[in-house]
Structure 1
Amino acid sequence: MQFRNNNMYMPTDKGSLSVHGTGYIEVNSDMARLKVKISTDNISLEEAQDKNKEITDRVLMSLEDYGIAEENIHSENLSVSKNYNLSNNTFLSYKVTNVISVLLDDFNKLGDVYSLIIENGANDEINVDFVLSNPTQYYNRALKKATQDALNKAGLLAKSFNVKYNPIPNKITELSSPVYAITYSSSSNSYYQDIAPGVVKIIAEVEAVFSTFPF
């Protein structure tokens, strides 16, 4: 503490105020994404692969015949694993798994596509995610809310601590990103008639630093 002429000297240096702003919105999904697992087991790896390809080709053909655009059908992952007898650790068979992703922008087609997939040999888990065709526009809206939240908090804290502050921040950090900010609802129900479109939640976060001054 410094003294000048026996009076207390108050520093005039700028201080800083750091706040965390959060904003979120919830919107109805406008697309459905089905992830279909096709699994085949055989003691022969070649036969397991051949059978898996046969079922996969049949499923893909049925989807294309139904009218699903080729760019909305993707083969995402092909994996091979070994099955063992857990009691004596002896080899039983090879398991080949293929994952197909199908995008739909018409929820009325969801039941038909679900049935087609099952009827043409898909024999493993089917998951349905409800997604957004243009998530960036919604993330930007959430981000705007996050910046306003940061401004509101800065004003509240400055008033509470009895300091003035510059409402223009000298540093802003975006803590979130469109890639990880979105939470999609999903369903793995085996009865497609129970599946309904879900709500998508988008959360954005920022950190802002403001300069403060004593009164």
Structure 2
Amino acid sequence: MRKILVIAVTMFMTTFSNAQEMKTVPQVVVSGEGKVKVTPDQAIINVGVGNSGNDAAEVKKKNDAAMDAIIKYLKSVKLPASDYQTKQVSLFKNYDYEKKKHYYQASQTISITLKDLSKYDVIMMGVVDAGANTIHGVEFKTSKLTQYESEARVKAVQNAKAKALDYAGALNQKVGKTLLVTDNSATYYPRPMFAEMKVGNDAAMPRETLAIGEIEITANVTINFALE
């Protein structure tokens, strides 16, 4: 029993000693950020139909007819069915305090993924002519997101390493091996940086109503480097 106790104490002391040694490794903890700015090649357009009236069935009927026309238009221009989707449908009763009576309001939105930005004006005019009376915004994106995220991560590590070298140099030390890497990157949110869209000098080109600018893809990392 005494022998077992001695072995247990010895193992505990060894583990404790190793833990202490790990805690006392000189190190520098730095954060790095990598950014990649790219011109988007796709857009998500959210358009909708809204109608109001005294009869719920009639209001819904008007909305359904307009949405049917919009979907048929998208099919007519050969937009893949996978590139548009109904996002929201609502029909509710409201009260007009001025007229002191109830009325019904219906709305429906559809999200369109446009993979050819040169068709933006044509598509927008087409859905409006078909019956869309609300536009809820345009979100730009890139079809090469995975590639650009990888580039941003590499830049983030390079940025962190550069900081570590600065600190180590100021301390007259050298940067050693990497002890820990923590990815702090958040979910990708495109941030449009508006600029004029270039379409060339062709006088026959249609009017410009879309400034695609750039989107910024960011990666953040925290790295623990040993100091030597």
Q: Displacement, 1:64?
A: 0.6
Indicate if the aligned counterparts of 1:59 and 1:121 stay in contact, CA closer than 8 A: yes
- Given candidates 176, 201, 213, the residue that maps to 2:185 is 176
| Partner residue, 1:116 | 126
| Partner residue, 2:73 | 62
| Partner residue, 1:202 | 217
Identical amino acids, percent of aligned pairs: 26
SS of 1:125 mapped into structure 2 = strand
Distance of aligned partners of 1:16 and 1:61 in 2 relative to their CA distance in 1, 3 Å threshold: same
Supply the distance in 2 between the matched residues of 1:91 and 1:202 (Cα, whole angstroms). 51
Residue type at the aligned position of 2:213: G
Q: What is the CA deviation profile of residues 73-101 of structure 1, one whole-angstrom value per residue up to 9, with x for unaligned ones? A: 1111223444433569x554222221111
Residue type at the aligned position of 2:175: Y
Supply the distance in 1 between the matched residues of 2:38 and 2:114 (Cα, whole angstroms). 17
- Given candidates 49, 53, 66, the residue that maps to 2:60 is 49
- Residue 128 in structure 1 maps to residue 138 in structure 2: yes
Q: Displacement, 1:31?
A: 1.1
Q: Displacement, 1:39?
A: 1.1
Residue type at the aligned position of 2:57: E
Distance of aligned partners of 1:63 and 1:156 in 2 relative to their CA distance in 1, 3 Å threshold: same
Distance of aligned partners of 1:182 and 1:197 in 2 relative to their CA distance in 1, 3 Å threshold: closer
Aligned residues: 194
Indicate if the aligned counterparts of 1:35 and 1:101 stay in contact, CA closer than 8 A: yes
Which entry has the higher C-alpha Rg, 1 or 2?
2
Supply the distance in 1 between the matched residues of 2:62 and 2:89 (Cα, whole angstroms). 13
> Superposition RMSD on alpha carbons, in Å?
2.4
Aligned pairs for 1:1-215 (under 5 A) are 13-85=24-96, 92-166=102-176, 168-177=177-186, 179-180=187-188, 182-184=190-192, 193-213=208-228
Tell me the TM-score normalised to structure 2 length: 0.76
Indicate if the aligned counterparts of 2:121 and 2:209 stay in contact, CA closer than 8 A: no
Tell me the TM-score normalised to structure 1 length: 0.80
Q: Structure 2: any 5+ residue segments left out of the alignment?
A: 1-22, 195-206
Q: Displacement, 1:181?
A: 5.0
Structure with greater strand percent: 1
Distance of aligned partners of 1:53 and 1:110 in 2 relative to their CA distance in 1, 3 Å threshold: same
